[in-house]
Structure 1
Amino acid sequence: MAEAIREISASEARSKFSEVFDAAYYGNPVVVRKHSKTVAIISMELLESLADLEAKNDTLKARRALKEFLKTGGTPMSQIRKELGFD
């Protein structure tokens, strides 16, 4: 089972890089702070989760844009291509 998220200073991360890397590899995220500011989060699982959320958000935005396009009667790409002489 994964441990709680560990927080360490930037200097500690630098001096214990292999330990930090191993923790992240085995599913234990590490937050690196410098002067009380988060500068890095080392975790593949978290990175993958964020990428999934970003993809879902992009999909929602695209669906909203398409819905708005259809609602306002925008010009279809086929018509634009024809008007520009690409067809």
Structure 2
Amino acid sequence: MSANAMREMSASEARSKFSEVFDAAYHGNPVVVRKHSRTVAIISMELLQSLAELEAKRDSEKARKALREFLKEGGTPMSQLKKELGFD
């Protein structure tokens, strides 16, 4: 998907061209819709799932890195954290 494949339109235009917006998003061309100062992107489920998987992978990599650091450098015991946060 190239940046020029992404369409932008107002909410009223998107409403009147819903079928066209749906088809564009379904075929991998996101549509940016603006209403006053609010903006949304209409994308396909396939793209949404890909983005969710990418985010999960990134989060998993961050968690593995944090675990490696914890195992290497140690950390604060849960009992101490609870006490510091007032959960004891």
Q: Same fold (TM over 0.5)?
A: yes
> How has the CA–CA distance of structure 1 residues 36 and 73 changed in structure 2, closer, same or farther, with 3 Å as cutoff?
closer
Unaligned runs of 5+ in 1: 76-87
> Who is 1:43 aligned against?
43
Query: Aligned residues: percent identity?
Result: 76
Amino acid at match of 1:14: R
Q: CA deviation at 1:65?
A: 1.5
TM-score by length of 2: 0.65
Counterpart of 1:8 in 2: which secondary structure? strand
For the residues of structure 2 that align with 1:16 and 1:62, how far apart are their CA atoms?
A: 43
Q: CA deviation at 1:28?
A: 1.8
Unaligned runs of 5+ in 2: 77-88
Structure 1 stretches of at least 4 aligned residues deviating more than 3 Å after TM superposition = none
Counterpart of 1:67 in 2: which secondary structure? helix
TM-score by length of 1: 0.65
Whether 1:52 and 2:47 are equivalent positions in the alignment is no
Can you list the C-alpha shifts for 1:23-75, whole angstroms capped at 9, x where unaligned? Answer: 1112221111122542x111125423421321121112111221122013459
Can you list the C-alpha shifts for 1:5-32, whole angstroms capped at 9, x where unaligned? Answer: 1101011112221221111112221111
Contact 2:24/2:30, CA 8 A, preserved across alignment: yes
Question: How many residue pairs align between the two structures?
Answer: 74
Larger Rg: 1
Q: Which residues of 2 match residues 1-87 of structure 1 at below 5 A?
A: 4-35=5-36, 37-38=38-39, 40-44=40-44, 45-73=46-74
